[in-house]
Amino acid sequence: MLKKEDGRLYLEEGHAVIAELIYNDHEEYYDVTSTYTEPSHRNRGLAKDLVDEIVEMAREDGKKVQPTCPYVAYAIRDSQYDDIKIK
């Protein structure tokens, strides 16, 4: 289940966090600093689900995404994300 806190999106299974995305909320953009998925839950698209969520948040809030995290930079490399990328 996807949960949100200030500066953090995460997925839980039971009461355990299985994936998370950490970001800093700035006036004009979200700086995504890290993503992590528990090894036993990798290769299921969970980190991508979290990236998709921060992208939706940025679009809804009229913000951009600064992909400090290398995974996020890779995940939003396609042109479909040009509207939220910091150039």
Domains of the chain: 2-81 (3.40.630.30)
pLDDT at 53: 97
pLDDT at 3: 95
Structural tokens at position 8: 């953090």
Name the amino acid, one letter, at 12: E
Q: Which of 27, 34, 28, 29 is nearest to 71 (CA)?
A: 34
Structural tokens at position 66: 């600064």
pLDDT-based confidence at residue 27 (cuts at 50, 70, 90): very high
pLDDT at 87: 74
Chain-centroid distance of CA 59 in Å reads 13
φ, ψ for residue 39, nearest 5 deg: -50, -40
